Structure 1
Amino acid sequence: MDEHPYTVVVGVSPGSASPTALRWAHEQAAQRGGRVVAVRAWRTTGPQATPSGTTAARVPSSTDTEHEAMSRLVSDVAAVLGPDHGVELRVVRGDRRRALLDAARDADLLVVDAPRSIASAPLFAHRLVYAASCPVVVMPPRISGEPRTPLERAGWAAVRAAGSAGRPGLGTPRG
């Protein structure tokens, strides 16, 4: 029988570095004598335009973009867990959802921070939960310590209002 170590895959956002998800994933793996795989998706950037409207002389290559993504992932994980973290680091070209699902195919747990974008937050986590082959833990912004911005509060109010629009008597559940 081939025994694999307990594996926790954690998505590391390029914007926030997902500190809460990284720490929690690291603790879960340590408690079970397992390993952590930190994943970040990347995409090739398009050419930048100059003020005259022409494209810049140097267009970043996919190799340059991949090296930059790995460099940033290395520094983000080290900033959160320290330099001797022992985490396996992977950068994957493409969509973040597909990158996480592929990395978690044989994992025991997938951990992500809730997306900070109001528009993608419910759909991203929802799609991960239903498509993953292992349990998924989504760290809510309140646990991550992210303050709610006025725009975010207004956005969620609009989502709640849209959900009950046209249904008299339907209110937001009190929790």
Structure 2
Amino acid sequence: MSAHEYTVVVGVSPRSSSPTALLWARRQAREHGGRLVALRAWKAPTPQATPSGTTAARVPRSTDSEHEAFSRLVSDVAEVLGPDHGAELVVTRGDRRRALLAAARDADLLVVDAPRSLAASPLFAHRLVYAAPCPVVVMPPRISGEPETGLARASRAAGAAAVRAAGTAGRPGLGTRRT
């Protein structure tokens, strides 16, 4: 019978490199004497069609795309954790949710950054939490240092305007002073 090694899987975003998730996951793996697996999912690019409807002459090979995804993962993890990070790097072809869930089967903990945009991936973290076979840690944007999105800024401004309007409703002459 082999002893199970504590395993932390961290999803590394190609957009942000997931620095907070990587650092936190490494700390958890070290505290438990386990290993860190940095995972990135990739999809093969679809060839562009010409105006006649036929595919372009140069169709990227999936091995080229996989090699590029792995090279970027190596670079991103080394930039965040340093060159001697000791993490196991894995690239998986396909959907990121499925890739993370498959890797979580043998993991003790799954760590991801919250998606940058709710419009791009509605309920991504929510679906991971309910489908994963292990605990899931989701780094919220405020902790991970993600810049506030335009939608979040607009929502905050609309909420503040609604509060001001409700506070002055029915009170003629009561308004906010502008200096």
TM over 0.5: yes
Report deviation, 1:152: 2.9
Provide the residue aligned with 2:175 in structure 1: none
Report deviation, 1:5: 1.2
Provide the residue aligned with 1:78 in structure 2: 78
Alignment of 1:5-154 (within 5 A): 5-49=5-49, 55-120=55-120, 123-154=123-154
- The 1:157–1:109 alpha-carbon spacing in structure 2 relative to 1, beyond 3 Å, is farther
Partner of 2:123, secondary structure, is helix
Query: Are the equivalent residues in 1 in contact too, given 2:117–2:149 (CA < 8 A)?
Result: no
Query: Are the equivalent residues in 2 in contact too, given 1:118–1:155 (CA < 8 A)?
Result: no
Report deviation, 1:119: 1.8
Provide the residue aligned with 2:168 in structure 1: none
TM superposition score normalised by structure 1? 0.83
- The 1:43–1:121 alpha-carbon spacing in structure 2 relative to 1, beyond 3 Å, is closer
- The 1:156–1:106 alpha-carbon spacing in structure 2 relative to 1, beyond 3 Å, is farther
Task: Select between 148-157 and 76-85 the one with higher mean Cα deviation.
Answer: 148-157
| 2:143 partner amino acid | I
Report deviation, 1:151: 2.5
Provide the residue aligned with 2:161 in structure 1: none
Cα distance in 1 between the residues matched to 2:76 and 2:27: 17
- The 1:53–1:156 alpha-carbon spacing in structure 2 relative to 1, beyond 3 Å, is farther
Cα distance in 1 between the residues matched to 2:110 and 2:129: 9
Cα deviations by residue, 1:145-168 (Å, 9 ceiling, x for unpaired): 11213333336889xxxxxxxxxx
- The 1:107–1:154 alpha-carbon spacing in structure 2 relative to 1, beyond 3 Å, is same
TM superposition score normalised by structure 2? 0.81
- The 1:128–1:120 alpha-carbon spacing in structure 2 relative to 1, beyond 3 Å, is farther
Aligned length: 158
Query: Are the equivalent residues in 2 in contact too, given 1:42–1:94 (CA < 8 A)?
Result: yes
Query: Are the equivalent residues in 2 in contact too, given 1:115–1:124 (CA < 8 A)?
Result: yes
| Percent of residue pairs bearing the same amino acid type | 78
Computed over aligned residues only, the root mean square deviation of the Cα atoms, in angstroms, reads 2.1
Cα distance in 2 between the residues matched to 1:156 and 1:115: 19
Higher alpha-carbon Rg: 2
Cα distance in 2 between the residues matched to 1:127 and 1:96: 12
Cα distance in 2 between the residues matched to 1:145 and 1:132: 25
Cα distance in 1 between the residues matched to 2:98 and 2:156: 26
Structure 1 stretches lacking a partner, 5+ long? 159-175
Task: Select between 149-158 and 36-45 the one with higher mean Cα deviation.
Answer: 149-158
